[in-house]
Amino acid sequence: MADYIRALEPITTPAQLERTKELIRQFTAPQGLGPRLHQYLLDKREAEDNWAYYYWLNEMYMNIRIPLPINSNPGMVFPPRRFKTVHDVAHFAARLLDGILSHREMLDSGELPLERAASREKNQPLCMAQYYRLLGSCRRPGVEQDSQFLPSRERVNDEDRHVVVICRNQMYCVVLQANDRGKLSESEIASQILYVLSDAPCLPAKPAPVGLLTAEPRSRWARDREMLQQDERNQRNLELIETAQVVLCLDEPLAGNFNARGFTGATPTVHRAGDRDETNMAHEMIHGGGSEYNSGNRWFDKTMQLIICTDGTWGLCYEHSCSEGIAVVQLLEKIYKNIEDHPAEDNGLPQHHLPPPERLEWHVNQPLQLRFGQASQSVDKCIDDLDFYVYRYQSYGKTFIKSCQVSPDVYIQLALQLAHYKLYGHLVATYESASTRRFLHGRVDCIRAASTEALEWAKAMCQGEGANVALESDREEEEESRKVKFSIYSKDHLRELFRCAVARQTEVMVKNILGNGIDIPLLGLREASIEVTGEMHELFKDESYNISQCFLLSTSQVACSTDSFMGYGPVTPRGYGCSYNPQPEQIVFCVSAFYSCEDTSASRYAKSLQDSLDIMRDLLQN
């Protein structure tokens, strides 16, 4: 509770904080409800592998009713390929799928190596459960609450292995390994993909975009799914999709209007595919580009959707409830590096006489037919509202930060705080995911980077001037005035404040990853209050609690060892999402906001980040 009060200090008013302190006094008094609930959770801990797991899973995913694309599923972009012919597309897809199959075999044989913590109480073993949920799993919509279809670890050895390939909204079941004919070779898989690539465009009409329904609000999609299930053929299709190892989406390129907008002063892109920049590629991975492009060429409930576009862009969209990004990134990077290290010798026409993959035909009744128009409109509206910006900060990266004896993660979190303060003159509840895999079934807790120490430092860096809410046209003047006022505090003083902010942020980070964060215990107490008394305690209806839970800045480090990056949308309509990938000499940020919110702008936040990182370097250099 002391840590909770500390986390509230920089983001609440004195009156709000006083009221919360009073509620906490009542809650924690020996005769208050707090001690009883705490004991309730201790008993639960004795009885279960991980007392927090289902509280957390439901809170973060299963109870959330808004659509998966943008709001929940992250998208990941890999360095684009060069495809000369459609055979190249098929061969690359085959290599990825072959890698997936080999990984599946490794999981089945129990040879997946146990990972250990690389820092802070080094070598502690990490829970590997997430890795076993990546393949062959799927989320299922429910009217009240979603659920997960998870692969059974007992049945693994006597099953066929298949994937579902989607091209121009047509779905095909490609069997990669069958009990009666063994595993397909890479070239055989390529021939199956080639069949899909040539069959789908030749079919008389584009089919109903059933996949688009998975982009709808969850309760809506649950009802549509019930309607679909009334037909036996549809039921079987759904089962094939859910049990598929992965879904592979063969896409058409998006138009240039998805390229980065605003903030032209930087070098926002390194990779290009034709006219498309990295922001454009990220849009494709996160939502598919709308009903006109590839959003119907998806199954957003599927844990892993590999996406390959004919122009060489490729990556992943993944449903988040089964696993954090790290496990997904590691799996795909392993497969990708293997492809890079062992270039294929021959991408010629594969000659095989396998039966062609089965095309999934849907029976869509009249009421469902009507739903596609509505679903197209609603997904297109959401996509139009997404303000996304992939920003590569190239002046320095982890190497410089480490040379300042600061943890790179802590440093970047403080840069994110400063960037926010520069724009708005205050800090907001900030979420950073902290892995808690040192615990069985541990997922994440929340590192709260908005601290009083960060606020004091940010204020001093901006001379306590308050919000820089200037429009773009006013910015130059603003920047000039800021430069002049910068000398109000000595560099020594600013450095001292920075050290205090670093110390606090480091302490919060370490507490979290060692299992002493505040958000999971608070969630536990909240849920326990409902289970024990039938209603939620006042502490969780409090204004401060609501402020603390509305993450106007939602961040996470997604470190990649290849030149790839992962991004996602904001978690509230007025907020920012910001993932970052710190590399030795640069940091890749994926900033998101919603156009419908007048106060936010992804490119302005990126620009503010650039300014913040620049002045931090000036402060710490030498």
Catalytic residues: 320
Best CA proximity match to 70, nearest among 421, 319, 251, 403 = 319
Q: In angstroms, what is the minimal distance from the CB of 119 to ligand COA?
A: 5
Paired residues of 305 in beta bridges: 247, 317
Q: In angstroms, what is the minimal distance from the CB of 223 to ligand COA?
A: 29
174 alpha carbon, distance to own chain's centre: 28
* Choice from 188, 251, 319, 409 touching ligand COA (CB under 6 A): 409
**Region near ligand COA per CB under 6 A, out of 211-219, 256-264, 531-539, 555-563:** 555-563
**Region near ligand COA per CB under 6 A, out of 159-167, 254-262, 295-303, 407-415:** 407-415
Are the C-beta atoms of residues 16 and 535 closer than 8 Å to each other? Answer: no
* Choice from 246, 254, 434, 528 touching ligand COA (CB under 6 A): 434
- Of residues 272 through 331, those in contact with ligand COA by CB under 6 A are 324-326
Q: In angstroms, what is the minimal distance from the CB of 408 to ligand COA?
A: 4
User: What is the token pair recorded at 184?
Assistant: 């397909």
- Of residues 500 through 519, those in contact with ligand COA by CB under 6 A are 509, 513
**Which is closer to ligand COA, CB of 402 or CB of 485?**
402
Q: In angstroms, what is the minimal distance from the CB of 609 to ligand COA?
A: 17
Q: Which amino acid is at 563?
A: D
**Which is closer to ligand COA, CB of 97 or CB of 414?**
414
Q: In angstroms, what is the minimal distance from the CB of 61 to ligand COA?
A: 12
- Of residues 107 through 146, those in contact with ligand COA by CB under 6 A are 118-119
* Choice from 73, 170, 544, 557 touching ligand COA (CB under 6 A): 557
Number of chain positions touching ligand COA (CB under 6 A): 20
**Which is closer to ligand COA, CB of 137 or CB of 435?**
435
Sequence-separated (6 or more) residues with CB below 8 Å from residue 476? none
Kindly state whether residue 433 participates in binding ligand COA, applying the rule CB under 6 A: yes
Q: What's the alpha-carbon Rg for the chain, to the nearest Å?
A: 25
Q: What is the DSSP letter of 486?
A: G
**Which is closer to ligand COA, CB of 119 or CB of 490?**
119
**Which is closer to ligand COA, CB of 347 or CB of 512?**
512
User: What is the token pair recorded at 1?
Assistant: 């509770």
Q: What is the 3-class SS of 158-219, one letter each residue?
A: HCCEEEEEEECCEEEEEEEEECCCEECCHHHHHHHHHHHHHHHHHCCCCCCCHHHHHHCCHH
* Choice from 171, 200, 558, 616 touching ligand COA (CB under 6 A): 558
Q: In angstroms, what is the minimal distance from the CB of 59 to ligand COA?
A: 16
* Choice from 215, 308, 332, 406 touching ligand COA (CB under 6 A): 406
| 469 three-state secondary structure | coil
**Which is closer to ligand COA, CB of 56 or CB of 83?**
56
Paired residues of 392 in beta bridges: 588
Sequence-separated (6 or more) residues with CB below 8 Å from residue 11? 426, 427, 428, 429, 450, 547, 548
**Which is closer to ligand COA, CB of 229 or CB of 399?**
399
Cα 153 to Cα 176: distance, rounded to the nearest angstrom: 19
The owner of tokens 């098929």 is 90
First to last CA, the chain: 40
- Sign, Cα dihedral of 70, 72, 78, 82: negative
* Choice from 191, 407, 601, 603 touching ligand COA (CB under 6 A): 407
Window 383-402: contact mask with ligand COA (x via CB under 6 A): -------------------x
The owner of tokens 């490119």 is 603
Sequence-separated (6 or more) residues with CB below 8 Å from residue 541? none
Which positions lie near ligand COA, rule CB under 6 A? 118-119, 324-326, 402, 405-409, 433-435, 444, 509, 513, 556-558
